[in-house]
Amino acid sequence: MNIKNHQHKATQIAELISDELIIKKAEDGLDVLGNLYYQGFDKIIIHQQNITPDFFDLKNGMAGEILQKFSNYRVRLAIVGDFSAYTSKSIKDFIWESNKIGHIYFLTYLSTALDKLSGH
């Protein structure tokens, strides 16, 4: 995993780059959060392809556990990808609500993620 540091509108944002899954279980998400938080990042971009599909099955609680920690530490997160494959009403509502609140974003484009994370 590599960390690409974006300076966008005077905001420092970490983008995680990898050809492999970065988050396979809840503990991996917490490790990413802790590692980047202690490196001084409070805005992070992770690509959907680097997160296990289990994350998007809300019944197992993984997404809630990980995203609650990001909220507790006041670290803003954008997950960038194509979420159209997730058709359940619960995940669609979860994504919509997250985007509305504005602490955790599910976005299609990296450029949009950089704008959203640097806007606050």
Taking only the tens place, the pLDDT of each residue in 49-106 is 999 999 999 999 999 999 999 999 999 999 999 999 998 999 999 999 999 998 999 9
pLDDT of residue 116: 95
Whether residue 120 has pLDDT greater than 80: no
The per-residue DSSP string of 54-114 comes to: GGG-GGG-HHHHHHHHHHHTT-EEEEES--TT---HHHHHHHHHHHHHTSEEEES-HHHHH
pLDDT of residue 11: 87
Q: Which top CATH class is 2-118? A: alpha beta
Whether residue 66 contacts residue 23, with contact meaning beta carbons closer than 8 Å, is answered with: yes
Whether residue 109 has pLDDT greater than 90: yes
Rounded to two decimals, what is the model's pTM?
Answer: 0.94
